[in-house]
Structure 1
Amino acid sequence: MTVGNGSPRQRYRDQVRAEIKQAALAQMCIGGPAALSLNAVAKELGVTGPALYKYFRSRDDLLTELVFDCYADAAAAVHAEAERVTGLPARERLHRLAEAYRQWAVAAPHLYQLLTVMPRPTLDSPPETIDRAKAVLGPFLPALGEGQAWPAATELRKQVQGWVDGNEPVADWVRAYAPGADPYTALTGALIVWVRLHGVVNLEVQGKFVGMGHQASTLLSVEMDSLADLMGLPAS
């Protein structure tokens, strides 16, 4: 039996790895990332704990792959919405992209928590995680690139400029998504979007809005409109 991409052995290995990840996600759906136990996963699949180490070197290795998968899933949701809103005014695109991310998060809160809650203090995020996070935020850059910096953001923009000028991968990422736009302004806006977006979504996923008289989607819309106003994003 040959070993390699597409071989029966490789297909079997991929299938088992997928089953392990599905069992792990089912655990986290109930108890969050901290609930993940390799022994419990093994029991669910009817194998011994050590057998899992043929597919994942450790619990952290499994968690890392799950984080990668979750970023890819979130990016797919945002990119799909970006395709749908092509040609709409920048302000409308900003609203739609933010809501797409919110809907992804509330539909699968255990996946969202995997991206925002460090399962173990010793689990370091590999460099690949940064690229996957960029893929989630990237579609926001073209809309924000149509805006302008505002006085209150002057110092932040200055710091972002130093970041872009001193980090070629970051500069390439911004320009790839928002060619022709001022990269410093686009990235400044993106950082603020990231903070406001997670501020609303994280509280909603934690159930902090339960019993209050507003909808999280309305609060998120207010946050995005506030930033759009500051940046002068056109509505038409």
Structure 2
Amino acid sequence: MITAEQRRSSTHERFREQVRGDVKGVALSQLAAGGPQSISLNAIAKELGVSGPALYRYYAKRDDLLDDIVIDAYHDLRDAMDQAVVATTDLPDPAERMRELARAYRRWALEHPHRYELLFKPLFPGYDAHGEPIAEASAMLIGPALGLLGDGGTRSRLDARPEDVDHVVRVWSRLHGIVSLEIGGTYAAMDVDADELFATEMESVTARLARPSTVQQGRAVPSGD
């Protein structure tokens, strides 16, 4: 039986999460308008119609709020990647599954450029972008790709083959470079077709992946398709 105290505690927690969600929503608007340095707890409190001290009960300082926003972004990007893995379960070609995973990654980044840049750019001097909670969230991103090279399930670098980790890091490095330049407007300024470049680069970086049925004695052979 739920006691009155438990009900009060549950209601309080729901209210707390609602307020934190409202705060993060305003902070994301500030982020999109002026970058991470434009995020201000006092300005958020004013927009929400509460006092600064009242808001500090939820976030004692701006860095705490930024930590939450960064971790949320990692989780959202990971969710998009997980959905791509599930959607391609029936594809027999691991290279194509990896490319679809890369497409999901790029798609999320282009839809959320300000949040994507939070993950991979220094926010401002003094901010610790490598604290334990953020490091744990960051480490999640490698799991879906490692799973494609293993048994199809989510894996971590701790239980993956070193050669698989190496390959995923190479794919990720190439992918991140392309996405970062695209978000920064470099390709548009150079009149480069970003879609074509992305497709070509992902084809190249995943080329070593072959259907299991087409690999024999360490070399690729025709599959008969």
1:228 to 203, 206, 223: 206
Q: Which amino acid aligns with 1:130?
A: A
1:48 and 2:51 equivalent?
Answer: yes
Partner of 1:165: none
**Which consecutive unaligned segments of at least 5 residues does structure 2 have?**
215-222
- Separation in 2 of the partners of 1:17 and 1:35? 18
Q: Which amino acid aligns with 1:63?
A: L
Determine what percentage of the aligned residue pairs are the same residue: 39
- Alignment length (residue pairs): 204
1:25 to 25, 28, 38: 28
Deviation at 1:140, TM superposition (A): 1.1
Length-normalised TM-score, structure 1: 0.78
Deviations 1:36-63 (A, max 9, x none): 1112111211122222210012100000
- Is the contact between residue 94 and residue 209 of structure 2 (CA under 8 Å) also seen in structure 1? no
Structure of larger gyration radius: 2
Equivalent residue runs for 1:61-80 within 5 Å: 61-80=64-83
Deviation at 1:219, TM superposition (A): 1.6
Q: Which amino acid aligns with 1:220?
A: F
Deviation at 1:222, TM superposition (A): 1.7
- Separation in 2 of the partners of 1:9 and 1:82? 37
Q: 1:3 to 1:120 in 2, by over 3 A?
A: farther
- Separation in 2 of the partners of 1:233 and 1:4? 56
Q: Which amino acid aligns with 2:97?
A: R
- Is the contact between residue 2 and residue 9 of structure 1 (CA under 8 Å) also seen in structure 2? no
- Is the contact between residue 45 and residue 51 of structure 2 (CA under 8 Å) also seen in structure 1? yes
Q: 1:72 to 1:6 in 2, by over 3 A?
A: farther
- Residue 126 of structure 2 aligns to a residue whose secondary structure is coil
Alpha-carbon RMSD: 2.3
1:171 to 151, 155, 158: 158
Partner of 2:126: 122
Deviations 1:92-115 (A, max 9, x none): 011100010100011011111111
1:190 and 2:168 equivalent?
Answer: yes
Length-normalised TM-score, structure 2: 0.82
- Separation in 2 of the partners of 1:203 and 1:3? 51
- Residue 127 of structure 2 aligns to a residue whose secondary structure is coil
Per mean C-alpha deviation after superposition, the further-off stretch among 136-145 and 59-68 is 136-145
Q: Which amino acid aligns with 1:222?
A: T
Partner of 1:133: 138
- Is the contact between residue 28 and residue 35 of structure 1 (CA under 8 Å) also seen in structure 2? yes
- Is the contact between residue 145 and residue 185 of structure 1 (CA under 8 Å) also seen in structure 2? no
Structure number with greater CO (CA < 8 Å, separation at least 6) is: 1
2:60 to 57, 70, 74: 57
- Is the contact between residue 144 and residue 189 of structure 1 (CA under 8 Å) also seen in structure 2? no
- Separation in 1 of the partners of 2:8 and 2:169? 39
Per mean C-alpha deviation after superposition, the further-off stretch among 3-12 and 38-47 is 3-12
Q: Which amino acid aligns with 2:29?
A: A
Deviation at 1:214, TM superposition (A): 3.1
